[in-house]
């Protein structure tokens, strides 16, 4: 008796074997002579079709109506060739055991339900085809990410989740106030527990960390400290942004992959980003065939061709200045007016990738320094910085990266000009005092990668438990 996970590979080569499968009932069809039960254990998209005659052990549970959609069962049977067109083999049941009943109120029945509805059932949505497939592809992308960097000599670094510094300098951090409750006060009155100074301000010196602390927006600055010691490193962990954007591409909590390359410039950075994206996309196309076919049919028609192109083609590189000219020449009416120095909006990004370059990833480089973060290296023109963004169709900005300013005087000037508190970056500045090297890196939003690789329209469906403004259930 072989205890298997279901799976498309459990096929004709197993004819005659006795298998045990444990999973959840997707559908049940009771006919006069025979009963069909489709079981899924999450290992793959396809269900195991079980065929049960009334003389099999445990048939009384079918008769008494206990086996319903959503119930968990244990079955044992012999693999036989299937008469049906949907599968090559099926399991002729010898024995069925009910493990856990499912109440008739189980909200995920066979009929198709909207993804909006399923967001309100985030605890049950992994039982659907779509969310099972997304979870498996997300897992494959994470695995391929580590594989790519490990094979290329990068060291994985855990960057902290709680931090005292603001990597992006954009003030979009969630503050960690360590409300020190004096007793079991209800949550609403916890505010009273925050230590205050005489004039009513928060007294941070009395708080847990002795100073304001935040959830990290990016692990980059920490990664830089290790890149200037171990050479190439990467982080892969959760990051948080308190930006009030209710869009299909923004989450308040998302995972980021941040490689940091020592002795490297912007060209090395762009080459790494391209090789990385091609590697993980290829991995998914090769290892998640069944799920990708599902996305190709039900979520985004043609996604497999689109992704195959990504693996094979070189990505176009364009300076920001050239992109602005291209947008101005396009004669298209944009909601946000285009002029040199403006931050590109998603309508502009979409035009560039989807219209101007026919659906290929594009790398834009050399952005005006005014719209980019303090740590980016100034170019010789004095106006732009060595920044790069990778834009992809449907998603827009997938990657943001740059060569870092390794020259102490330039970095100090930049912090002063932006009125950022130089003292709080003292350790970051130290890296430029002691053996500074040219270095570069990028950040890739993992959920945007999941969107890109699956065709899922809304980023809320690319992460198991989405956090967005006004929503932190489950």
Residue ranges that bind ligand 4AD, judged by CB under 6 A: 167-168, 218, 220, 241, 243, 250-251, 254, 256, 258, 397-402, 441-445, 447-448
- Compare residues 132 and 361 and give the one whose CB is closer to Mg ion: 361
How far apart (Å, rounded) are the C-alpha atoms in residues 257 and 236? 4
Q: Which does 49 bind (CB under 5 to 8 A by kind): ligand 4AD, Mg ion, none?
A: none
Distances in whole angstroms, Cα of residue 424 to Cα of each of 101, 154, 210, 403: 57, 29, 14, 22
- Compare residues 9 and 343 and give the one whose CB is closer to ligand 4AD: 343
- Compare residues 236 and 254 and give the one whose CB is closer to ligand 4AD: 254
Q: Which does 241 bind (CB under 5 to 8 A by kind): ligand 4AD, Mg ion, none?
A: ligand 4AD
Structure-token pair, residue 74: 């244990």
- Consecutive H or E run containing 141: helix 129-151
Residues 397-436 that bind Mg ion (CB under 5 A): 400
How far apart (Å, rounded) are the C-alpha atoms in residues 171 and 165? 10
How far apart (Å, rounded) are the C-alpha atoms in residues 214 and 169? 12
Measure CA 336 to chain center: 28
How far apart (Å, rounded) are the C-alpha atoms in residues 301 and 287? 19
- Compare residues 38 and 461 and give the one whose CB is closer to ligand 4AD: 461
Q: Where does this chain touch Mg ion (CB under 5 A) — which range of 78-86, 286-294, 394-402, 412-420?
A: 394-402
Q: How far is the CB of 199 from ligand 4AD (least distance, A)?
A: 35
State yes or no: residue 393 binds Mg ion (CB under 5 A). no
Q: By Cβ distance, which residue is nearest to Mg ion?
A: 400
Q: Which does 310 bind (CB under 5 to 8 A by kind): ligand 4AD, Mg ion, none?
A: none
Q: How far is the CB of 18 from Mg ion (least distance, A)?
A: 55
Q: How far is the CB of 174 from ligand 4AD (least distance, A)?
A: 12
Q: How far is the CB of 101 from ligand 4AD (least distance, A)?
A: 39
Question: What contacts 354, CB < 8 A, 6 or more positions away?
Answer: 393, 394
Residue 373 — φ and ψ, nearest 5°? -70, 160
Q: How many CA atoms lie within 13 A of 474 on its CB side?
A: 15
Q: How far is the CB of 235 from Mg ion (least distance, A)?
A: 16
State yes or no: residue 396 binds Mg ion (CB under 5 A). no
- Compare residues 155 and 194 and give the one whose CB is closer to ligand 4AD: 155
Distances in whole angstroms, Cα of residue 178 to Cα of each of 79, 137, 240: 58, 37, 17
- Compare residues 90 and 389 and give the one whose CB is closer to ligand 4AD: 389
How far apart (Å, rounded) are the C-alpha atoms in residues 25 and 234? 41
State yes or no: residue 259 binds Mg ion (CB under 5 A). no
Q: Which does 460 bind (CB under 5 to 8 A by kind): ligand 4AD, Mg ion, none?
A: none
Q: How far is the CB of 310 from ligand 4AD (least distance, A)?
A: 16
Q: Which does 166 bind (CB under 5 to 8 A by kind): ligand 4AD, Mg ion, none?
A: none
Q: Which does 167 bind (CB under 5 to 8 A by kind): ligand 4AD, Mg ion, none?
A: ligand 4AD
Location of structure tokens 């002729």: 92
If you compute the radius of gyration of the chain from its CA atoms, what whole number of angstroms results? 27
- Compare residues 207 and 224 and give the one whose CB is closer to ligand 4AD: 224
How far apart (Å, rounded) are the C-alpha atoms in residues 170 and 239? 14
How far apart (Å, rounded) are the C-alpha atoms in residues 379 and 138? 37
How far apart (Å, rounded) are the C-alpha atoms in residues 418 and 428? 16
Measure CA 79 to chain center: 38
Q: Which residues bind Mg ion (CB under 5 A)?
A: 400
């Amino acid at each position: 008796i072989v205890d298997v996970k279901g799976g498309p590979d459990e096929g004709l080569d197993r004819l005659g074997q006795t298998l045990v499968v444990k999973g959840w009932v997707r559908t049940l069809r009771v006919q006069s002579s025979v009963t069909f039960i489709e079981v899924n254990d999450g290992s793959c998209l396809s269900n195991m079709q079980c065929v049960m005659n009334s003389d099999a052990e445990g048939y009384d549970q079918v008769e008494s109506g206990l086996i319903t959609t959503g119930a968990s069962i244990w079955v044992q049977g012999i693999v036989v060739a299937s008469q049906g067109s949907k599968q090559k083999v099926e399991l002729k049941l010898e024995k069925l055991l009910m493990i856990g009943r499912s109440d008739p109120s189980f909200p995920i029945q066979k009929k198709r339900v909207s993804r909006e509805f399923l967001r309100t059932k985030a605890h049950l949505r992994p039982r659907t085809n779509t969310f099972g497939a997304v979870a498996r592809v997300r897992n494959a992308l994470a695995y391929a990410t580590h594989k790519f960097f490990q094979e290329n000599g990068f060291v994985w670094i855990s960057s902290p989740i709680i931090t005292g510094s603001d990597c992006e300098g954009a003030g979009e951090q969630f503050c960690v106030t360590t409300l020190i409750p004096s007793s079991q006060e209800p949550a609403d009155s916890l505010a009273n527990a925050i230590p205050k100074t005489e004039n009513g301000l928060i007294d941070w010196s009395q708080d847990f960390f002795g100073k304001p602390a935040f959830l990290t927006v990016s692990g980059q600055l920490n990664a830089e400290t290790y890149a200037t010691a171990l050479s190439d490193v990467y982080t892969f962990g959760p990051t948080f942004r308190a930006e009030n954007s209710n869009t299909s591409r923004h989450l308040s909590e998302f995972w980021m992959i941040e490689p940091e390359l020592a002795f490297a410039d912007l060209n090395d950075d762009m080459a790494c980003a391209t090789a990385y994206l091609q590697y993980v996309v290829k991995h998914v196309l090769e290892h998640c065939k069944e799920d990708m076919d599902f996305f190709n049919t039900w979520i985004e028609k043609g996604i497999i061709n689109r992704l195959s192109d990504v693996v094979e083609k070189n990505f176009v590189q364009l300076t920001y200045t050239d992109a602005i000219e291209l947008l101005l020449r396009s004669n298209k009416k944009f909601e946000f007016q285009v002029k040199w120095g403006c931050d590109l909006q998603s309508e502009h990004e979409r035009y560039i990738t989807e219209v101007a370059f026919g659906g290929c990833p594009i790398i834009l480089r050399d952005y005006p320094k005014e719209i980019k973060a303090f740590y980016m290296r100034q170019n010789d023109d004095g106006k732009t910085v060595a920044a790069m963004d990778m834009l992809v169709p449907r998603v827009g900005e997938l990657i943001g990266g740059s060569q870092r300013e390794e020259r102490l005087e330039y970095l100090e000037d930049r912090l002063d000009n932006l009125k950022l508190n130089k003292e709080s970056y003292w350790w970051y500045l130290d890296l430029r005092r002691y053996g500074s090297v040219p270095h570069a890196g990028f950040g890739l939003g993992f959920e945007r990668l999941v969107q890109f690789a699956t065709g899922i329209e809304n980023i809320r469906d690319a992460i198991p438990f989405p956090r967005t403004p006004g929503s932190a259930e489950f």
